Amino acid sequence: MTSDKGREDPMARTRTTRASTKSARSRTSKQPRGRVRYAVVGQGYISQIAVLPAFANARRNSELTALVSDDPHKLELLGRRYRVKHLYRYEDFDACLASGEVDAVFIALPNHLHHAYTLRAARAGKHVLCEKPLAVTEDECREMIDEAERYGVQLMVAYRLHFERANLKAVQIARAGRLGGLRTFNSLFCMQVEDGNIRLQAAAGGGTLYDIGIYCINAARHLFGAEPVEVVGFAGNNGEERFREVDEMTSAILRFPGDRLASFTCSFGAADASAFDLVGTKGSLRLESPYSFAEDITQRLKIGERTTEQVFPARDQFAPELLYFSDCIRERRKPEPSGEEGWADVRVIRALLASIELRRPVALEPLDRRRQPTLEQEIHRPPIEEPELVGARKPSPGD
């Protein structure tokens, strides 16, 4: 008997692939007529403190219809609290996707699971709103983007600050030239993370860069309106047992075209602090607590001798994500931030990790990303009342 291995007709393979893609896309050709129905996958801290209650502020076009978790106690209590009847274990995720009860999923799982669950949802014809980081590696991000395109579904990374006024206003000021030629960006984002938290588990995609450094990277990219061409990173560790798998602290320098420099430090072992400073040839801009989802954000703008201050009150930053993404689904419009935006940040994180390991700067291929968040994307919703957590802990005692 002879083997047919290696003698596959390439045209037949192409026809099969095209037929498969057409079949997959046909499953999403019928857009939701009413509210977009969501399954929230993962019932940890961020889901309970922000995502689930946000649906009350997003009822115009979004509806919470299913919960997915491996904890039956969480499912029972949260299902009752939010009046959700469709409750699934992780092992039943595919049944959830095939049930006809959901149009989209919000993935709020540990970082290392984003890739697999996004692929499963996309292949089932479901749109995906995925928490940051989009994935752990660039290759995973690219496969998620490609599969979403192949199966005709929308993929958005949950960058809530792309809809928050203080951060969008900062981008507008930078682009308008009010600070003159932009030269430096410097940021700090620190918190205390308790031992045992998943952010401290390397196998789950933990570490400061993936969790909080990504905010600094994203801010620098959009304030400069460009992509870094070279990076260098330094990791620090005070030797505490809780940092046995991941860095305690990371500092980085990013070189942008025009020899503009961005620097930041992020830490899981320091007191709560977050701010960024953008300095140009004519002025400077400072935001205090720019990355917070539960605090007021203060902006200080200094141009010449004149300084102005504005306080942006705390608001619900998660409902705007849902409202915007649901509109993108209904209108068949590619979202900003798309999967490519998530990939761009992971690309920088991976380069910084390589720099730390190699103990030298790492160059990045030139990248021209024209899509940027704009002030027109701002969506305001009132703050939510903090709900009681069910079987979940705050990552930091200061939260």
Q: Is the per-residue pLDDT at 27 higher than 80?
A: no
The yes-or-no verdict on residue 226 having pLDDT over 80 is yes
State phi, psi for 269 to the nearest 5 degrees.
-130, 25
Run of H or E including 318: none
Section 155-182 average pLDDT: 98
The count of other CB atoms within 10 Å of the CB of residue 22 is 10
Cα–Cα dist 227/247, whole Å? 25
Buried b (16+ CB within 10 A) or exposed e, 179-207: beebbebbbbbbbbbeeebbbbbeebbbb
157 CB-contact burial (10 Å; exposed 0-12 / middle 13-18 / buried 19+) = buried
- Considering the domain 165-314, what is its CATH architecture? 2-Layer Sandwich (3.30)
> Which range among 4-8, 237-241, 273-277, 392-396 shows the weakest confidence by mean pLDDT?
4-8
Q: What is the pLDDT averaged over residues 150-167?
A: 98
Q: Look at residue 22 in the predicted model and tell me its pLDDT.
A: 46
Nearest-CA neighbor of 43 among 96, 109, 126, 134? 109
pLDDT for the residue numbered 397? 59
Query: Please, which contacts does 222-226 make with residues 24 or more away whose CB atoms are closer than 8 Å?
Result: 222/171, 222/372, 222/373, 223/170, 223/171, 223/174, 223/182, 223/185, 223/278, 224/174, 224/182, 224/185, 224/256, 224/260, 224/262, 225/174, 225/175, 225/372, 226/256, 226/257, 226/258, 226/260
Of the pLDDT bands very low, low, confident and very high (cuts 50, 70, 90), residue 200 is very high
- Domain locations in the chain? 33-160+316-337+379-391, 165-314
Q: Residue 240 — very low, low, confident or very high, per pLDDT cuts 50/70/90?
A: very high
Task: Determine the average pLDDT of the residues in 226-247.
Answer: 97
Banded pLDDT at 371 (limits 50, 70, 90): confident
- How far apart CA 365 and CA 72 sit, in angstroms, is 47
pLDDT score for 338:
97
- Residue 178: in which H helix or E strand, if any? none
Give percent of the chain above pLDDT 70. Answer: 91
Which of 2.60.40.290, 2.60.40.10, 3.40.50.720, 3.30.390.30 would CATH assign to domain 33-160+316-337+379-391?
3.40.50.720
- The pair phi, psi for residue 213, each rounded to 5°, is -60, -30
Instruction: Say whether pLDDT at 62 is over 50.
Output: yes
The pLDDT score that the predictor gives to residue 28 is: 47
Structure tokens at 161: 């600050």
CB atoms within 10 A of CB 340: 18
Section 379-397 average pLDDT: 89
Give the pLDDT confidence score for residue 396 in this predicted structure.
66
User: Would you list the DSSP string of 40-68?
Assistant: EE--SHHIIIIIHHHGGGGTTTEEEEEEE
Dihedral angle sign, alpha carbons of residues 143, 144, 146, 150: positive
124 Cα distance to chain centroid: 22
Residue 310 exposure: Cα atoms within 13 Å on the Cβ side: 11
Distance separating alpha carbons of residues 151 and 125, to the nearest angstrom: 6
Sign of CA pseudo-dihedral 380, 382, 388, 394: positive
Provide the pLDDT confidence category of residue 30 given band limits of 50, 70 and 90: low
- Nearest C-alpha neighbor of 158 from the set 346, 334, 289, 341: 341
What's the token pair of residue 93?
């995720």
Lowest mean pLDDT among 21-30, 126-135, 267-276, 362-371: 21-30
Q: How far apart are CA 250 and CA 213, in angstroms?
A: 8
For all residues of the chain together, what is the average pLDDT? 92
Q: What is the pLDDT of residues 306-340, one digit of tens each?
A: 999 999 999 999 999 999 999 999 999 999 999 99
Q: Is 256 helix (H, G, I), strand (E, B) or coil?
A: strand
Over residues 113-137, mean pLDDT: 98
Those residues whose C-beta lies under 8 Å from the C-beta of residue 395, and which sit 6 or more positions away, are 45, 191, 193, 194, 197, 199
